[in-house]
Copies of this chain bind each other. A is one copy, B any other.
Amino acid sequence: MTDSQLETSMFVMGNRARAAARTLAQASTEKKNAALVAAARALRDDADLVLAANARDMAAGAEKGLGPAMLDRLRLDAGRIEAMARGLDEVAALADPVGAVMAEWTRPNGLRIARVRVPLGVIGIIYESRPNVTADAGALCLKSGNAAILRGGSESFHSSTAIMDCLRRGLAAAKLPADSLQMVPTTDREAVGIMLRMTRHIDVIVPRGGKSLIERVIAESRIPLFQHLEGICHTYVDGSSDLEMARQVVLNAKMRRTGICGATETLLVDRRVAASHLPVLIGDLLEAGCEVRGDEASRAVDPRVKPALTADWDTEYLDAIIAVKVVNGVGGAIAHIGAHGSQHTDAIVTEDQHAADRFIAEVDSAIVMHNASTQFADGGEFGMGAEIGISTGKLHARGPVGVEQLTSFKYVVRGTGQTRV
């Protein structure tokens, strides 16, 4: 395909998505849920077709020399397909945000004003190798009444296409427009560039993937994004913290799962408890198999602590590595996080309510926590149901992006013939 042919076919997709979005915005909760449940059934019924498609991707991936972590992200099996299907059922069970009245008031002249949730319109999803994003993101867009255009990675092309087929069969079963969910039918890199300029067709882009993908999308997009570039999350152990609580929270925040964006990457410890707490906290981490890179004070604790370089304070390891620094109280922690954080999730462990309040007020992150593990930074853990991602932006959606965050609103004004003076 030439670039101009590709652009034309992308625009056709965009027009179809816009038309489908108009229908979807008016669709009943029952119809949307029926589509989700039917899609889950299609996934279960045709699990063998999806697995066969995945086998093609896996073979191509192995041939291309993908690493084991990449291949694991790509792999589907019966359990992962069932998890996807269950995910669709769970999204069907979520409350429908569309039509909800967010606020309502009456003016002195009798005008009744309501703020009512409506879908955003068309969401563009750009993702990499995990084929399950097709089902998860597609389901959240559908539930929130949005059409979606999905652009999966070349590695997962066959798997994602097979999954998309199940979703569209669900739409057809519920008599909803099949073009509510469309997959870009090419892995041409230029298709991403075109998507990012389709301001008339797409309302929001949600990129899901590694830092280089997100960086490209940020640099090129003319469409607003729900995204986070990275999660450089901090846990600050205050001078007034309980050591036992600090041990449990820090170990969980770093080591429960090291590859998620809410994992703590930097441990900050108040100088007042460096002598009492630091050796214990570092000992726990080393014992759990975590590499520790510390400042001078931390290195003095244990010979196994490696020296932290300047870059360590700005690194999202996504691995069993942690940077450790001693700071001067809550003010020092806030200053460090302001300079090195990514406005994702940061936590303080303390028994001192004043220190907690100050940390909460002054740390400018989407999620600030007191006495809890940063690994709770997740839409499911927040009780919002599934999430399409986490946003570190301040506009519209911040933190976990669930079905509610995939909506906008309109003002409905009801009168009895009022005219303005």
Residues of A at under 8 Å CB distance from B? Answer: 22, 25-26, 105, 107, 111, 113, 118, 120-121, 203-204, 224, 242, 245, 248-249, 251-253, 256, 338, 349, 356, 360-362, 364-373, 375-376, 381-383, 394-396, 398-399, 408-420
Contact among B111, B256, B360, B418 with A419 in the assembled complex (CB-CB below 8 Å): B256
User: How distant is the Cα of A412 from the Cα of B360 in the complex, in angstroms?
Assistant: 7
User: How distant is the Cα of A365 from the Cα of B413 in the complex, in angstroms?
Assistant: 12
By the criterion CB–CB under 8 Å, are A370 and B120 in contact?
A: no
By the criterion CB–CB under 8 Å, are B413 and A252 in contact?
A: no
By the criterion CB–CB under 8 Å, are B248 and A419 in contact?
A: yes
By the criterion CB–CB under 8 Å, are A417 and B224 in contact?
A: no
By the criterion CB–CB under 8 Å, are A373 and B26 in contact?
A: no
By the criterion CB–CB under 8 Å, are A376 and B410 in contact?
A: no
User: How distant is the Cα of A399 from the Cα of B419 in the complex, in angstroms?
Assistant: 19
Nearest CB in chain B to that of A244: its residue = B417
Q: List 27 A-B contacts (CB under 8 A).
A: A22-B362, A26-B361, A107-B381, A107-B382, A107-B383, A113-B383, A120-B394, A120-B395, A203-B394, A203-B395, A204-B395, A224-B224, A252-B420, A253-B419, A349-B417, A371-B414, A371-B415, A371-B416, A371-B417, A372-B415, A373-B419, A373-B420, A375-B419, A375-B420, A395-B396, A398-B409, A399-B411
By the criterion CB–CB under 8 Å, are B382 and A417 in contact?
A: no
Question: Closest approach, in angstroms, between the C-beta of A244 and any C-beta of chain B?
Answer: 8
Contact among B121, B366, B411 with A368 in the assembled complex (CB-CB below 8 Å): B411
Nearest CB in chain B to that of A119: its residue = B394
* 18 further A-B pairs in the complex, CB-CB below 8 A; given A105-B383, A370-B414: A22-B364, A25-B364, A107-B381, A111-B376, A111-B381, A248-B419, A364-B410, A367-B413, A371-B415, A371-B416, A372-B414, A372-B417, A373-B418, A376-B415, A382-B411, A395-B408, A396-B396, A399-B410
Nearest CB in chain B to that of A372: its residue = B415
Which of A204, A365, A411 has the most chain B CB within a 10 Å cutoff? Answer: A411
Nearest CB in chain B to that of A242: its residue = B417
User: How distant is the Cα of A113 from the Cα of B400 in the complex, in angstroms?
Assistant: 13
The dominant DSSP class at the A interface is mixed
By the criterion CB–CB under 8 Å, are A370 and B419 in contact?
A: no
Q: Collect the chain B residues with CB atoms within 8 Å of residue A364's CB.
A: 22, 25, 118, 410
Given A105-B383, A394-B121, decide whether A367 and B414 contact each other with a Cβ distance below 8 A.
Answer: no
By the criterion CB–CB under 8 Å, are A368 and B420 in contact?
A: no
Question: Closest approach, in angstroms, between the C-beta of A279 and any C-beta of chain B?
Answer: 20
By the criterion CB–CB under 8 Å, are A395 and B361 in contact?
A: no
User: How distant is the Cα of A248 from the Cα of B420 in the complex, in angstroms?
Assistant: 10
Nearest CB in chain B to that of A409: its residue = B398
Q: Collect the chain B residues with CB atoms within 8 Å of residue A396's CB.
A: 395-396
By the criterion CB–CB under 8 Å, are B367 and A418 in contact?
A: no
By the criterion CB–CB under 8 Å, are A410 and B369 in contact?
A: no
Which of A248, A356, A368 has the most chain B CB within a 10 Å cutoff? Answer: A368
Given A249-B419, A256-B419, A376-B111, decide whether A412 and B368 contact each other with a Cβ distance below 8 A.
Answer: yes
Q: Collect the chain B residues with CB atoms within 8 Å of residue A356's CB.
A: 414
Question: Closest approach, in angstroms, between the C-beta of A276 and any C-beta of chain B?
Answer: 18
Q: Collect the chain B residues with CB atoms within 8 Å of residue A414's CB.
A: 356, 369-372
Contact among B248, B256, B399, B415 with A370 in the assembled complex (CB-CB below 8 Å): B415
By the criterion CB–CB under 8 Å, are B375 and A410 in contact?
A: no
Contact among B381, B398, B410 with A365 in the assembled complex (CB-CB below 8 Å): B410
Given A394-B203, A411-B368, decide whether A420 and B256 contact each other with a Cβ distance below 8 A.
Answer: yes
Q: Collect the chain B residues with CB atoms within 8 Å of residue A248's CB.
A: 417, 419
